[in-house]
Amino acid sequence: MKAKSTAEEITKLTEIMATLRAPEGCPWDREQTPETLKPYILEEAYELIDAIDNNDLSEIRDELGDLLLQVVFIAQIYHEQAQFNLADVALSISNKMIRRHPHVFAGANSENHAKRWDEIKQQERSSKGKGHKLADRIPTNLPALKKAAKVISKIEKESLQIQIQKTQNHFSELKSLTDKQTTKHNQIKQILGEIFFDTVQIAHSLNCDAEDLLRKKTIQVMTQTDI
């Protein structure tokens, strides 16, 4: 049996996508835009995460294919608009990986690689005219827990004990408010927000992914609930 060629299979996939988008192709595929495909990008990414959690190799392979299809699909749309194609996408990320790994591709010292990575990212942002403020560097559409974790990774870190104490203080405030006859809803919401953020901060300090922890706990509750 002939060994599969990555280049051949990727080319085949791009040709299939081009055929589906052609005038005589599939009506549904032809009417899609990058905007309409956004929900599918998220859906396929989360299905891939489920497959990885289940360590199902066949499912991981298939879900990687579904996610790859979204990349090829969107690249094809922009190719039709004479903006860029899949080769440009691959070239862009290849150049970025080489640029961000000078210790591998340019003979640089591997020490302080994380610091150098951030410096290179800042240079890239400057060359594109993008800002360096935290709000400019974190994607707007990240899920709230992921966004909080990103922010926490960039700000000055407090000790774990201080973080836990702050969380305990906020729980005490919450209990005090809910014990009162006149509940101040806005204050409760503010304190709950503090507790959520505190919890993500504690998870980050313990090298845990808050989004992943909550997702797995929710799945556990779902599987244990007879509804």
Cα separation of the two ends of the chain: 50
Which residues, including other chains, have CB under 8 Å from residue 150's CB and lie 6 or more apart?
A: 138, 142
Of residues 117 and 198, the one with the higher pLDDT is 198
| Same domain, yes or no: 92 and 34 | yes
Contacts of residue 72, Cβ cutoff 8 Å, sequence gap at least 6: 13, 14, 17, 86
Average pLDDT over residues 63-80: 98
Residue 165: the pLDDT is: 94
Residue scoring higher pLDDT (73 or 182): 73
Residue 183: its pLDDT value, please?
65
Mean pLDDT of 80-94: 97
Residue type, 166: K
Residue 136 DSSP one-character state: H
Q: What is the pLDDT of residue 1?
A: 46
Amino acid, single-letter form, for residue 58: S
Residue 71: C-alpha distances to residues 17, 27, 59 (Å): 11, 19, 19
Considering the chain, what percentage of its residues have pLDDT values greater than 90?
61
Give the CATH number of the domain where residue 73 resides.
1.10.287.1080
Q: 78 and 147 in one domain?
A: no
Q: Alpha-carbon distance 168 to 109, whole Å?
A: 44
Quote the number of domains for the chain.
Answer: 2
Asked if the structure places residue 134 within a domain, the reply is no
Same-domain pairing of 152 and 216: yes
Structure-model confidence comparison of residues 74 and 1, the more confident one: 74
Q: Rounded distance, CA 166 to CA 207, Å?
A: 19
The verdict on residue 30 lying in a domain is yes
> Is the predicted pLDDT of residue 227 greater than 70, yes or no?
no
User: Are residues 69 and 18 part of one domain?
Assistant: yes
Domain boundary among 100, 123, 156: 100
> Has residue 133 been placed in a domain?
no
pLDDT (0 to 100) of residue 179: 78
| Residue 14 resides in a domain | yes
pLDDT value at residue 181:
61
Angle at 173 between CA 169 and CA 175, to 5 degrees: 115
Domain boundary pick from 36, 69, 100 = 100
Question: Is the pLDDT at 3 greater than 80, yes or no?
Answer: no
The boundaries of the domain holding residue 175 are 141-224
Q: Is 105 part of a structural domain of the chain?
A: no
Neighbours of 212 (CB within 10 A): 14
- Give the Å distances, CA to CA, from 42 to 20, 143, 170, 226: 22, 11, 34, 28
Residue 121 covered by a domain = no
Taking CB atoms within 8 Å and a gap of at least 24, the contacts of 43-47 are: 44/69, 44/70
Comparing 141 with 17, the larger pLDDT belongs to: 17
Lowest mean per-residue pLDDT among 63-67, 182-186, 192-196: 182-186
Segment (H or E) for 142: none
Residues 162, 77 share a domain:
no
